[in-house]
Structure 1
Amino acid sequence: MLSSAFVLLGAALGVSGHYTFPKVGGGSDWQQVRRADNWQDNGFVGNVNSGQIRCFQSNSAGASASLNTTAGSSVTYYSNQGVFHPGPMQFYLARVPDGQSVNSWNGDGAVWFKVYHEQPNFGSQLTWPSTGKSSFNVPIPSCIRSGYYLLRAEHIAIHSAGSSGGAQFYVSCAQIGVTGGGSTDPPNKVSFPGAYSASDPGILININWPIPTSYKNPGPAVFKC
């Protein structure tokens, strides 16, 4: 009986340390964000080669609405509780091709460019700006073309990343419409899956010992206008 109680307690604590990213702007949960497969269990993607690494969806079902914003502004992305695990927040954009619908486009191919990532503070341990936060301001570059985009939120939890496959990816994709943009088509776009390898130094890393003195974010450099 005591053993069962500890199992249940451990399971509860495990779920409480996990999270989803269900909301953007002033919308409701999963209104302008495509409903991710972890919407009920707060689970994570553990395989960088899985199709779920893109938007954490087993399909490409669209959201019921899109958030309208302007180029050069920022949008706020929300988690359902404070980000608990150590690791970087990263955000990507992918423009929906002209003539296709944001509600059905699946984001396939080398279409994603990074607009934000964070670096840790270094010391006796790595600390991350995202720790404990449940809202994140995402910059929308001023020079990108107007149109509809998928905005991909990603937190990479690396507390168990000392062995291959130990990193945990918490992902979702919002639908946004951007107006007032420029004419730039960002270079160095990547695909999901395809952008990451399980052996990338920011994914396969022991943050406990020896304490790292640098960190290389997985994926491309952050795009700047």
Structure 2
Amino acid sequence: MRSFGFALAALSSATAVAGHATFQQLWINGEDHESSCIRMPASNSPVTDVTSNDIRCNANPSAAANVCEAIDRRRNARAQHSRLRHPAIGGNHFGPVMVYLSKVDDAATADGSSQFFKIGEFGYDASTQKWGTDILNDNCGQFEVNLPSDIPDGDYLLRAEAIALHAAGQEGGAQFYMSCYQLRVSGGGGSTPAGVSFPGAYSASDPGIKIDIYGSDLGTYEIPGPAVVA
């Protein structure tokens, strides 16, 4: 099946709050686009209000320089982050990692109010006792997903997100770290999958958001949001 390969990197700023992080880089089909098509968050502080518009693409992100071309080259995604001497997201910030796409008219001007469909996720693996954030750290900040092969050509926002649950035993305790990338897809086809809106996709009381990860049966952990599209 035809697919595009993506790799995302989350990196904590050395001058910002310890343990906090931002998604900063993007690889497409093994090609490093660095930060050229990301709407960079203003800081590495988390969003904590799921009813805020900040839950879309973070708080006051800067404009991206480009729209990255996602062309079907039938190559495997591969990424390596150099000189990463600390965890991608540290400070016991355990939680899931998710990736969404939203079909938009113009990636450079879209405000994130369109619907997003989920294309990748990693919650908690009870057999290895690893969270999605552990996968980020094990892979130097990298998280890879495949772009569905049959989505229509055109512009998209790609929303990468990690949720830290170390203080999520009460509503408002979960920390959301997300960034949006601007993409242009070609070589696709078909129809756009149904999606969800941000805000609206999450509730502060969702079992995968309001959870005591130190006192719960994590083998039944429910990843927030919709299912990954087939």
Q: Same fold (TM over 0.5)?
A: yes
Q: Which amino acid aligns with 1:58?
A: N
- Using the TM superposition, give the Cα deviation of residue 68 of structure 1 relative to its aligned residue in structure 2, in angstroms: 1.1
Which residue is equivalent to 2:3?
A: none
Which residue is equivalent to 1:3?
A: none
Which residue is equivalent to 1:205?
A: 211
- Using the TM superposition, give the Cα deviation of residue 151 of structure 1 relative to its aligned residue in structure 2, in angstroms: 0.2
CA–CA distance in structure 1, aligned partners of residues 51 and 34 of structure 2: 30
Which residue is equivalent to 2:224?
A: 218
Map 1:169-180 to 2 at 5 A: 169-180=176-187
Q: Which runs of 5+ in 2 are unaligned?
A: 1-13
CA–CA distance in structure 1, aligned partners of residues 154 and 97 of structure 2: 25
Q: Is the aligned partner of 1:96 residue 2:104?
A: yes
- Using the TM superposition, give the Cα deviation of residue 149 of structure 1 relative to its aligned residue in structure 2, in angstroms: 0.5
CA–CA distance in structure 2, aligned partners of residues 172 and 77 of structure 1: 18
- Using the TM superposition, give the Cα deviation of residue 77 of structure 1 relative to its aligned residue in structure 2, in angstroms: 8.7
Which residue is equivalent to 2:5?
A: none
Larger radius of gyration: 1
Question: 1:174-196: CA deviations, max 9, x gaps?
Answer: 01111110112202x11111110
Contact preservation (8 Å) 1:88, 1:117: yes
CA–CA distance in structure 2, aligned partners of residues 13 and 160 of structure 1: 23
Q: 1:128 aligns with which of 122, 126, 131?
A: 131
Q: Is the aligned partner of 1:150 residue 2:157?
A: yes
Q: TM-score, normalised by structure 1?
A: 0.80
Q: Is the aligned partner of 1:141 residue 2:144?
A: no
Q: Number of paired residues?
A: 202
- Using the TM superposition, give the Cα deviation of residue 18 of structure 1 relative to its aligned residue in structure 2, in angstroms: 1.1
Which residue is equivalent to 1:20?
A: 22
Q: Is the aligned partner of 1:82 residue 2:88?
A: yes
Residues 1:13 and 1:34: Cα distance change in structure 2 (over 3 Å): closer
- Using the TM superposition, give the Cα deviation of residue 58 of structure 1 relative to its aligned residue in structure 2, in angstroms: 2.9
SS of aligned partner of 2:204? coil
- Using the TM superposition, give the Cα deviation of residue 216 of structure 1 relative to its aligned residue in structure 2, in angstroms: 0.8
Name the structure where strand makes up a greater proportion of residues.
2
Question: Pairwise CA RMSD of aligned residues?
Answer: 2.6
CA–CA distance in structure 1, aligned partners of residues 79 and 176 of structure 2: 16
- Using the TM superposition, give the Cα deviation of residue 116 of structure 1 relative to its aligned residue in structure 2, in angstroms: 0.7
Residues 1:76 and 1:44: Cα distance change in structure 2 (over 3 Å): farther
CA–CA distance in structure 2, aligned partners of residues 105 and 216 of structure 1: 30
- Using the TM superposition, give the Cα deviation of residue 14 of structure 1 relative to its aligned residue in structure 2, in angstroms: 8.5
Q: Is the aligned partner of 1:119 residue 2:123?
A: yes
CA–CA distance in structure 2, aligned partners of residues 13 and 63 of structure 1: 22
CA–CA distance in structure 2, aligned partners of residues 129 and 87 of structure 1: 6
Q: 1:32 aligns with which of 34, 37, 43?
A: 37
Question: 1:119-170: CA deviations, max 9, x gaps?
Answer: 31216x9421441141111211001001110000000111111111110000
Which residue is equivalent to 1:183?
A: 190
- Using the TM superposition, give the Cα deviation of residue 65 of structure 1 relative to its aligned residue in structure 2, in angstroms: 0.6
Q: Which amino acid aligns with 1:67?
A: C
Contact preservation (8 Å) 1:162, 1:206: yes
| % identical aligned pairs | 39
Residues 1:13 and 1:153: Cα distance change in structure 2 (over 3 Å): same
SS of aligned partner of 1:21? strand
Structure 1's consecutive aligned runs of 4 or more residues displaced over 4 angstroms after TM superposition are 71-81
- Using the TM superposition, give the Cα deviation of residue 211 of structure 1 relative to its aligned residue in structure 2, in angstroms: 3.7
Q: TM-score, normalised by structure 2?
A: 0.79
